[in-house]
């Protein structure tokens, strides 16, 4: 498949393995890139810039294909010197960066000077327009179905993607609710130049999370997620488990974030990914988990998605217009 995104990023397929905190390791990013997609490491999964440098070097040793580094700004409770992480990314020679959270504007001059293409994740068209204005190369637009933080406007991808395409001149990547070739074909039909998947890449053999969690997602329905943190204006979509139910209870009673922080901390989530205890912590997952039925390798996943999308486009849809 050839789109503006494949040409811009030098990748074989219009598929991005989105940056996922504590999951976007060198191994997963390299596996996605070797499969023909764009693998994305997460910078803040590494506690220090020095460790990020080592992780980038590891990724480079595992693939000769393009890969990206995710830099999520302003959503981590601890103090972070983002300039140090930006320095490492630029000095490493990485040429693609995915940004999320707050605006990447403070870093854009340095990224652009280094020839780095920035893809900014947005949950609203107005945010995407601002990102375009400050010079990002592309925008990844997240529909309400997505895992993590869908924003506060609750607009699904079926509306949000073409709404963004209507307003922006730079390429759009569709994100949220996509797990198979049908999603890729639909996204391209809506005007996107590629897709970004997180939950689907979580359920691959290379993803560094416990198999219990992968199996739980395989067996989930599209209704098995909860929206938490709504009363804190920081809505997050997670798997419905004991932690999600407890957070919902605290919010319903008018509680504040300090009452749930211990349940949803990054450390607690990290322990859950490793232990496989489904009710041990917050499990970030999108509604598309209800479409996932297996645990393939990244290579098998990318190949299947592309072949299924091509069949839909070339056979099913073309037959309807014959």
| Topology (CATH level 3) of domain 4-209 | TIM Barrel (3.20.20)
Query: What residue spans in the chain does CATH classification 3.20.20.70 cover?
Result: 4-209
Please give the residue that has the higher pLDDT: either 79 or 83: 83
CA–CA distance, 304 with 14 (Å, rounded to integer): 13
**What does the pLDDT average to over 224-237?**
96
The tokens describing 126, both together, are: 């107005």
Taking residue 51's Cβ as centre, other Cβ atoms within 10 Å add up to 13
- What's residue 24's pLDDT? 96
If you average pLDDT over every residue of the chain, what do you get? 96
Per-residue pLDDT at 281 exceeds 60:
yes
CA–CA distance, 121 with 102 (Å, rounded to integer): 9
**Residue 150 CA to its chain's centroid (Å):** 11
- What's residue 76's pLDDT? 63
Q: Do 33 and 16 contact (CB within 8 A), yes or no?
A: no
- What's residue 84's pLDDT? 96
CA–CA distance, 25 with 42 (Å, rounded to integer): 7
Q: DSSP E strands: which ranges in the chain?
A: 15-17, 38-42, 67-73, 96-101, 117-122, 138-142, 172-175, 194-197, 225-228, 236-239
- What's residue 79's pLDDT? 80
State the pLDDT confidence band at 321, using cuts at 50, 70 and 90.
confident
The tokens describing 24, both together, are: 């976007």
Q: Do 157 and 176 contact (CB within 8 A), yes or no?
A: yes
The predicted-structure confidence for 126-178, as pLDDT tens digits, reads as follows: 999 999 999 999 999 999 999 999 999 999 999 999 999 999 999 999 999 99
């Amino acid at each position: 498949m050839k789109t503006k995104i494949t040409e811009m990023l030098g990748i074989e397929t219009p598929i991005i393995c989105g940056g996922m905190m504590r999951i976007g390791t060198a191994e997963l990013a390299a596996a996605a890139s070797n499969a023909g997609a764009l693998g994305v490491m997460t910078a803040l999964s590494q506690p220090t810039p020095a460790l990020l440098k080592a992780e980038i070097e590891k990724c480079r040793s595992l693939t000769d294909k393009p890969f990206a580094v995710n830099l999520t700004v302003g959503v981590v409770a601890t103090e972070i010197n983002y300039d140090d992480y930006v320095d490492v990314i630029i000095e490493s020679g990485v040429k693609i960066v995915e940004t999320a959270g707050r605006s990447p504007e403070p870093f854009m001059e340095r990224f652009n000077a280094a020839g780095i293409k920035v893809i900014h994740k947005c949950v609203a068209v107005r945010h995407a327009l601002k990102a375009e204005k400050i010079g990002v190369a592309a925008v990844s637009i997240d529909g309400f179905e997505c895992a993590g933080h869908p924003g506060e406007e609750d607009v699904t991808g079926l509306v949000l993607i073409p709404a963004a395409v209507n307003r922006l001149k730079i390429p759009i990547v569709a994100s949220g609710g996509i797990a198979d070739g049908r999603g890729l074909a639909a996204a391209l039909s809506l005007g996107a130049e590629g897709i970004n998947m997180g939950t689907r890449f979580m359920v691959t053999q290379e993803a560094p999370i416990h198999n219990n969690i992968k199996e739980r997602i395989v067996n989930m329905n599209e209704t098995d997620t909860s929206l938490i943190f709504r009363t804190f204006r920081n809505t997050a979509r997670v798997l419905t488990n004991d932690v999600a139910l407890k957070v919902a209870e605290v919010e319903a009673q008018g509680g504040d974030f300090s009452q749930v922080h211990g349940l949803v901390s990054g450390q607690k989530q990290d322990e859950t990914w490793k232990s496989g205890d489904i009710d041990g912590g917050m499990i970030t997952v999108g509604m598309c988990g209800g479409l996932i039925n297996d645990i393939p390798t990244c290579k098998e996943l990318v190949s299947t998605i592309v072949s299924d999308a091509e069949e839909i486009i070339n056979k099913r849809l073309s037959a309807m217009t014959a």
